[in-house]
Structure 1
Amino acid sequence: MLDTVKSSSDDGNESDINSRIAEYVRELRAARGYTLDALAARCGVSRSMISMIERGAASPTAVVLDKLAAGLGVSLASLFGGEQDNARAQPVVRRREQLKWRDPESGYTRRNLSPPGWPSPFKLVEVDFPPGARVAYETGGRDSALHQQVWVMSGRIDIVIADVLHALQQGDCLAMRLDRPLIFSNPASKAARYILAISDASAT
């Protein structure tokens, strides 16, 4: 199962993020008319893994989920946010209600800051990146262009876009288009924290 975070004054609630991802992936695939085989061919994730994710029986990494998101034509952040046409969506989400997920491979955690289901052209995500951690996103082509900006709150993050290294320190901000391979790494001995601002036209 994907890791979820217990309720507290500063942590995400006890919502089953695994179930949210499973339900949303099923709905997106059905809405696009993709079979499991067709989606597998589009995103490079095996049919069996997609089936396990849709049943909530897998512990997919951030890299696998990013491939799946690319195949479905949405941002990685949207997989954690659920439906975008939720009639009960509110424009405010409290800190204690923000969903938090931990990548089982790298150990990095991401917190969805944006109100879930609220129609907006961008999303905000807070990331805590452990020292020595590394995540390599291989996806390049997407049906729609996604743009992202990274603002470093503390620590250091190295980001490689294609073959170009950007060494970011506290206060630095990097703008990028998600159309090339992307590597995040923390070469420092302390954890880093940064904010992602992600454009997501599919959310409006």
Structure 2
Amino acid sequence: MDDAPDIHAHLARHLRSLRRGRGLSLDALATRTGVSRSMISLIERGEASPTAVVLNRLAAGLGVSLASLFAEEDTPQASPLVRRAAQRTWRDPDSGYLRRTLSPPGYPSPIELAEVTLPPGARVAYDSGPGAGIGQQVWILEGEVDVATGEDRHRLAAGDCLCMHLDRANVFHNPADRPARYLVALAADPGRARARET
């Protein structure tokens, strides 16, 4: 089951902290992202259930990955182990997709792992990413997923793994009549970032 009250409180705190840390007002972040000032305010107070699309726009406006909104700040005392029962989950109220954060919270690591369950027929479109410098791999555990990344289209089945970058639009769609489950791994991609800078 998804621990909605806990994850909404976490998202509220983390989003507010990121926005303030970048010196952005609610109005400035709204202008950057196309998300209304009132919606951002509701999310930061834990009074709204934002969709994955809204969270992705906010993450892009803050220059971070969507996954980082669910992550904890690195702390020296963080454990390198997190048991399944303690892994935080979040359900997108629009598509119904369920996201489980697998990486130990607060433990410094160069990668972030998440497990996603995409319901039958569900479609999630991310129209923007945080820009160059973040790479993602998607490994299908069960079912099928159609992935569009920029102009490229892929039909992925169990066992398939796709590398992609988060500097362009990405769309995930489950064309089947049963849930699809996949692993997402994100990591900094310094080579890609350097290529974009030159």
Is TM (by shorter chain) over 0.5? Answer: yes
SS of 1:106 mapped into structure 2: coil
Paired position in structure 1 for 2:45: 55
- Is the contact between residue 4 and residue 16 of structure 1 (CA under 8 Å) also seen in structure 2? no
- What CA distance in whole angstroms lies between the structure 2 residues aligned with 1:136 and 1:40? 19
Aligned to 1:135: 124
The one of 56, 75, 79 equivalent to 1:90 is 79
Q: What TM-score do the two structures reach when normalised by structure 2?
A: 0.90
Query: Which position in structure 2 is the counterpart of 1:182?
Result: 170
Give me the CA root mean square deviation. 1.7
What is the aligned-residue identity percentage? 57
Shift of residue 144, structure 1, vs aligned partner: 4.7
1:119 corresponds to 2:101? no
For the residues of structure 2 that align with 1:120 and 1:192, how far apart are their CA atoms? 27
Residues in 2 aligned to 1:139 and 1:28: alpha-carbon distance in whole angstroms: 18
Aligned to 1:18: 8
Give distance in 2, aligned partners of 1:85 and 1:169.
34
8 Å contact from structure 1 (residues 73, 144) kept in 2: no
Gaps spanning 5+ residues in structure 1: where?
6-13
Alpha-carbon separation, structure 2, partners of 1:86 and 1:121? 14
Runs of 4+ in 1 over 6 A off after TM superposition: none
Task: Indicate the residue corresponding to 2:31 in structure 1.
Answer: 41
SS in 2 for 1:193: strand
Distance, in Å, in 1 between the alignment partners of 2:61 and 2:96 is: 24
Residues 19-63 of structure 1, C-alpha deviation per residue, up to 9 Å, x if partnerless? 000000111111111111111122221111111110001110001
User: What are the equivalent positions in structure 2 for 1:89-108 lying under 5 Å apart?
Assistant: 89-108=78-97
Equivalent-residue separation in structure 2 for 1:143 and 1:46 (angstroms)? 22
Deviations 1:102-132 (A, max 9, x none): 0000011000000111122210000111110
Displacement after TM superposition at 1:85 (Å): 2.9
What corresponds to 1:72 in structure 2?
62
Contact 2:131–2:167 (Cα < 8 Å) also in 1: no
SS for the counterpart of 2:136 is strand
**Are the aligned partners of 1:125 and 1:195 in contact in 2 as well (CA < 8 Å)?**
yes
Alignment of 1:167 with 2:189, yes or no, is: no
Provide the C-alpha distance between the structure 2 equivalents of 1:168 and 1:77, rounded to a whole number of angstroms.
Answer: 21
1:164-201 CA-partner distances (Å, limit 9, x unpaired):
21000010000000111111000011111000001158
Distance 2:102 2:183 in 1: 9
Counting matched residue pairs gives 189
TM-score normalised according to structure 1 size: 0.87
Contact 1:40 1:50 in 2 (8 A): yes
Q: Which deviates more from structure 2 when the two are superposed, residues 38-47 or residues 24-33?
A: 38-47
Unaligned runs of 5+ in 2: 190-198
